[in-house]
Amino acid sequence: MDLAGSSRLTPRNQFFKKMIIRALAISISLILFVNYTTAQPVWVNPYPNVIDVNAANGLLNVNLTNLTGDITIYYIVYRFNANATAPTIKARSSDPPDPGIGGFRGGGSFTYSLADDGTVMQVMFENLIPNIATNTILIAVEYAPDTFIAVQKINFSTPACPTIDILTGFSQPQQCVNIGADARFNVVVLDPDPNLNGIIRGTEWTLDWGDGTVDYYTSATDNDLPPLSVRTHTYSTTTDCNYVFSNVVDNQCGDNKK
């Protein structure tokens, strides 16, 4: 008797063995495919969206769920109706805006971490051109190396460039400045609409107290005025009876008030 031959598979058994191996391979492939596809992030309605758009900038809100790890959000902005693929959005997100009123208005990127799953993250996009009927922001979500979910596109308009329209004043208790004297720059906003008063996000304030001290402030939101601590100055040294105070308020539209 050939004992060694007794362990050999018959053609029929070999066929069944191949079928079993093939079925297992298909099953493993399906499991991997399901895990791969379910790992894609999913947008939480109604995101992404853009809000608080003014003549120079706006806010992008994102909210994603179904994360399995950190992901990267890329975005680019055009001053016309535009389209782009995810790889293009990623590649151009770090490019500077075109000079002047060129069509490409720049972009950016940020990390959306696993801990942010299901929460809203917000980023400001800038360099917009005033009074444009149709602008486009394109958003790409990369959840694995060079692997993206569908590109998101949002069209929006920008209002006309506002003129800075505020009342300002200067308070000084003494006619002649003494050591320890305080002075204060006063600001009053008459109209609460930033598209009318001109105090939009990114407005820059320069307060020159005349003794070599200059304070700076940038409005973090629309209608954001410098706090009292920035608008108040104590003259710790004096070399003259009077100092000349000056202030400049600039918004991104190029309008300024002195």
CATH code (residue 98): 2.60.40.10
Q: Are residues 128 and 183 located together in one domain of the fold?
A: no
Q: With 0.85 as the threshold, say if the pTM is over it.
A: no
Q: Are residues 151 and 209 located together in one domain of the fold?
A: no
Kindly state the average pLDDT of the residues 240-252: 88
pLDDT, tens digit, 9 for 90 and up, residues 145-178? 999 999 999 999 999 988 899 999 988 877 787 7
Kindly state the average pLDDT of the residues 219-225: 92
Q: Are residues 51 and 141 located together in one domain of the fold?
A: yes
Inside any domain, residue 120: yes
Inside any domain, residue 26: no
Residue 65 has pLDDT above 70, yes or no: yes
**Contact partners, residue 136, CB within 8 Å, separation at least 6:** 77, 78, 80, 81, 82, 83, 153, 154, 155, 156
Residue 128 has pLDDT above 50, yes or no: yes
Inside any domain, residue 251: yes
Q: Are residues 152 and 173 located together in one domain of the fold?
A: no
Q: What is the residue range of 76's domain?
A: 42-156
pLDDT at res. 8:
59
The Cα–Cα gap between 167 and 140 comes to 44
Q: Of 117, 132, 156, which one is at a domain's C-terminal end?
A: 156
- The residue among 111, 105, 132 whose CA lies nearest residue 123 is 111
Kindly state the average pLDDT of the residues 190-211: 91
CATH number at residue 227: 2.60.40
The Cα–Cα gap between 256 and 221 comes to 17
